[in-house]
Amino acid sequence: MSFPQSRMRRLRRTESLRALMRETAVTPGDLIHPIFLCPGIAVRRPVASMPGVFNLSIDEAVREAEEAARLGLGGLLLFGLPESKDELGSGAYDDEGIVQLGLRALKASPASKKLVLIADVCLCEYTNHGHCGKVIETADGWIVDNDPSLDLLARTAVSQAKAGADVVAPSDMMDGRVAAIRRALDAAGYQQTPILSYASKFASAFYGPFREAADSAPQFGDRKTYQMDGANLREALREISLDLEEGADMILMKPAMPYLDVIRAARELTGVPIGAYQVSGEYSMLQAAFQKGWLDPNRAILESLVSIRRAGADFIVTYFAKEAAKLLG
């Protein structure tokens, strides 16, 4: 049937009709709030390129968690800015490291009963060179050496699980790290700790503001030998399949908005839960437009999140989590 029998506008006439017809929903429980833990007490240091995002000392992070729980958010994703950095990123797998101390404090708070505490597993915030694995010199110059990095990443995940992480989320993009982490968790008695693998992570300009927030910019070179080329969809699907074979319980897709087609393809490939990360650059460009008065924040925030859910993500890591929950509530 076509016009005039069919009139698409009939079902758009009132807000209640539109609400009944709505195919995709975002709820606060779908949203994960990223936290950047830093040393000190009562520190709430703004990140210049990410208005509304802060480096938080552990006491402040506990307060933030209480607010997140009140707002009904799904969980927190924890990053750490260590006291000092070294060649091998030892702060990442130190049982007294910033994320481990933060996890213990958060676990002791009643808010943690309502939140999933996810720990990002990576070395780039902890290495003095800012790369996500071990760097070695070869005849052809420096490389990020895959296999020796696996043990460091696995130790990081075990140390985080021991400190109370509900989920570990490797974001380093070394080959074989999911299997190495699974093996190490099981051997240490953490068979019940799930792995959320950043299976499909592209080398993206949109991580720029994060590297200021996490102080994790590479001091030389870039991440293109381990993160994926943005042009490659088939490669992303191979990465996902391999991570699932290695034992990933869930996958995280990143960035989100410039890669919605990849999220959709992942949804069609697998039945495992899929998260998407609306990354720092996606947040900052929207914030910049809000500051200029060029976009309506309330509408643009929710529209961006609905688009990611519609593409097929079950949950979303987003710096708008608190804001969005307030709008939804």
Residue 23 makes CB contacts below 8 A (sequence gap 6+) with 310
Exactly one of 90, 171, 197, 270 binds ligand PBG (CB under 6 A); which one? 171
Separation CA 165–CA 66 (nearest Å): 17
Active site residue 254: yes
Catalytic residue of the set 107, 113, 162, 254 = 254
Does residue 98 touch ligand PBG according to CB under 6 A?
Answer: no
Strands 141-145 and 134-138: antiparallel
Active site residue 322: no
Answer for the pair 262, 233: CB distance below 8 angstroms, yes or no. yes
Exactly one of 279, 308, 324, 325 binds ligand PBG (CB under 6 A); which one? 279
CB of 10 to ligand PBG, least distance (A): 42
Separation CA 270–CA 251 (nearest Å): 10
Binding segment for ligand PBG among 59-67, 208-216, 236-244, 302-310 (CB under 6 A)?
208-216
- Please count the helices (runs of H) and the strands (runs of E) in the chain: 11, 12
Strands 167-170 and 141-145: unpaired
CB of 124 to ligand PBG, least distance (A): 5
Helix, strand, coil fractions of the chain, as percent rounded to 5: 45, 20, 35
Does residue 304 touch ligand PBG according to CB under 6 A?
Answer: no
Q: What is the DSSP string of 229-282?
A: PTT-HHHHHHHHHHHHHHT-SEEEEES-GGGHHHHHHHHHH--S-EEEEE-HHH
Strands 274-278 and 250-254: parallel
> Nearest residue to ligand PBG, using CB?
210
CB of 284 to ligand PBG, least distance (A): 9
Closest CA to 261 of 299, 228, 307: 307
Binding segment for ligand PBG among 139-147, 206-214, 286-294, 320-328 (CB under 6 A)?
206-214
Binding segment for ligand PBG among 108-116, 205-213, 229-237, 293-301 (CB under 6 A)?
205-213
Does residue 200 touch ligand PBG according to CB under 6 A?
Answer: no
Which residues pair with residue 204 across a beta bridge? none
Separation CA 37–CA 82 (nearest Å): 8
Binding segment for ligand PBG among 51-59, 60-68, 178-186, 210-218 (CB under 6 A)?
210-218
Does residue 168 touch ligand PBG according to CB under 6 A?
Answer: no
- H/E stretch holding 117: strand 116-121
Exactly one of 119, 122, 168, 325 binds ligand PBG (CB under 6 A); which one? 122
Here the tokens at position 278 are 């609306």
- Other beta carbons within 10 Å of 51: 14
CB of 238 to ligand PBG, least distance (A): 20
Binding segment for ligand PBG among 8-16, 87-95, 204-212, 302-310 (CB under 6 A)?
204-212
CB of 283 to ligand PBG, least distance (A): 7
Exactly one of 149, 280, 304, 318 binds ligand PBG (CB under 6 A); which one? 280
CB of 45 to ligand PBG, least distance (A): 17
Does residue 207 touch ligand PBG according to CB under 6 A?
Answer: yes
Instruction: Just list the catalytic residues.
Output: 201, 254
What does the binding site for ligand PBG look like in residue numbers (CB under 6 A)? 120, 122, 124, 132, 171-172, 207, 210-211, 216, 223, 279-280
